[in-house]
Amino acid sequence: MTKPLRLVIFGRQGAGKGTQCDQIIERYGVAHLSTGDMFRAARDAGTELGLQVGPIMAAGGLVDDEMTIAIVKERLESDEVKASGFVLDGFPRTADQAAALVEMLGDEGLHGAINLDVPLDEVTARMKARGRVDDTDDGIAQRLALYDEQTVPTINWFDEHGMLVNVDGLGTESEVSDRIAKAIESMIGDTGDAAG
Ligand code: AMP
């Protein structure tokens, strides 16, 4: 019996994380656990959670750790996700979330974390070029600053615990997805598991 892949992916907005997640999902048959998607769905459905997180998201802030950890925990504990494995996207974003994740996973643990690395000036240019309504110069700068402030220390934490692989995010889509596949294969090899 082979163990399903359990992965975290990091990357600034504009790094191409969405596209690469799609490739990982297709290749490994894992569930896509994106906290941003979960919060957007709650907001659009107008649930109690959605009403709470809507204004926070609109202001470019972070939802508090307790609510965020609860929504991830519920998904991680589902039989479906246990069977398929997962790629976590947008979580953890803070040190407390990282600690909670490690506790939630227990002995199962993670195969590792990938940091899709694209330089700041390049992601800024890409976000400006796609011209979404919420992509004002100030909005872009604020979200990128928040990433450096909160998420980069979280990435460093994974690095210090020997769980991080940096992947160069510059190049064509297929060049980058080949690098990611190699990174994942190295993680699977390290833990002795094989992905499903
Ligand atoms: P994303 O699509 O990952 O950028 O997420 C969209 C928004 O959802 C973020 O700007 C935050 O307001 C919220 N959000 C998503 N993931 C998290 C998280 N792990 N912790 C706190 N807030 C989050």
- pLDDT of 11 above 80: yes
Instruction: Evaluate whether residue 1 is within a structural domain.
Output: no
Q: Residue 24 to residues 20, 43, 88, 180: CA-CA distances in angstroms?
A: 6, 27, 11, 8
Structurally, the chain folds into a number of domains equal to: 1
Find tokens 């998607």 and name the residue: 37
Q: From the CB of 144, is ligand 1 less than 6 Å away?
A: no
- The Cα 177–Cα 83 span in angstroms is 24
Instruction: Evaluate whether residue 137 is within a structural domain.
Output: yes
Instruction: Evaluate whether residue 13 is within a structural domain.
Output: yes
Q: What is the pLDDT of residue 192?
A: 53
Mean pLDDT of the chain: 91
Overall average pLDDT of the 121-133 stretch: 85
Mutation to probe ligand 1, out of 40, 57, 154 (largest number of atoms < 8 A from CB): 57
Cis peptide before 92 (omega within 30 of 0): yes
Q: What is the pLDDT of residue 106?
A: 87
Mutation to probe ligand 1, out of 63, 89, 127 (largest number of atoms < 8 A from CB): 63
Q: From the CB of 99, is ligand 1 less than 6 Å away?
A: no
Instruction: Evaluate whether residue 196 is within a structural domain.
Output: no
The protein residue whose alpha carbon is closest to atom 1 in ligand 1 is 36
Q: What would the pLDDT profile of 48-85 be if each residue is shown by its tens digit?
A: 999 999 999 988 889 999 999 999 999 999 999 999 99
Instruction: Evaluate whether residue 194 is within a structural domain.
Output: no
Active centre residues (catalytic): 17, 93, 126, 132, 143
Other residues' Cβ atoms within 10 Å of the Cβ of residue 63:
19
> What CATH number is associated with residue 155?
3.40.50.300
Instruction: Evaluate whether residue 145 is within a structural domain.
Output: yes
Task: Compute the distance from residue 2 Cα to the ligand 1 centre, in Å.
Answer: 32
H or E element at residue 25: helix 17-28
Q: From the CB of 63, is ligand 1 less than 6 Å away?
A: yes
CB 53 within 8 A of CB 164: no
Atom in ligand 1 nearest the alpha carbon of residue 64: 21
Instruction: Evaluate whether residue 14 is within a structural domain.
Output: yes
Instruction: Evaluate whether residue 195 is within a structural domain.
Output: no
Q: What is the pLDDT of residue 65?
A: 97
What percentage of the chain has pLDDT greater than the value 90? 74
- The Cα 16–Cα 118 span in angstroms is 9
Host domain of residue 14: 6-189
Query: 14-28, 82-96, 133-147, 161-175: which has the minimum mean pLDDT?
Result: 133-147
Atom in ligand 1 nearest the alpha carbon of residue 92: 19
Overall average pLDDT of the 4-24 stretch: 95
